[in-house]
Amino acid sequence: MVLFVILLFVLQVIGFYVLALLYMKTSKMDLFEKRQQQVMEELNDTLIAYLAELKDENEKLIERLSAKTASAKSSEVNEKVAAIKESREEAIAAAPKKPIHLALKSYQSTANQQPQVKKTDEHNETDTLSQVLTLHKAGMSIEEIAKKLQKGQTEVELMLKFK
């Protein structure tokens, strides 16, 4: 009988030990999930900031085009600029805030409509990337590089991160 009680006691201790191990495993998994969620949120915030900066740069470009067309007083060009603004506003209104892949498809579809501009943009992007890398290696800060190349700080940071 004493042997039976000792056996039960040992089995209970082993059971508590297994339960403690399982609890530690689940708490580690919870911590891992929280870290992954934080990384996803940071990535999402970075992409949203990049898209917002890109939107601001597009608005500046449209303003410059509008200023040039106003001085030229060409009604055809004004209609094209208005159409571009209208299509851009429709694309912004239609684009969801969270799913980045939909915004990417929208940009790709507009890029497919203007293939000649895309080629020069790719060339300019590689030139800009090489300039950013060269200036960063020379010891310039991100702010200085952004001012010198007339780019946004976030864009320069992303170029350095994803080089």
Query: Position 102: which residue type?
Result: L
| The model's pTM | 0.35
4-16 residue pLDDT tens? 999 999 999 999 9
35-72 residue pLDDT tens? 999 999 999 999 999 999 999 999 888 888 877 766 66
* Interatomic CA distance for residues 33 and 39, integer angstroms: 10
Cβ pair 137, 119 in contact under 8 A: no
The domains of the chain are located at 37-113, 115-163
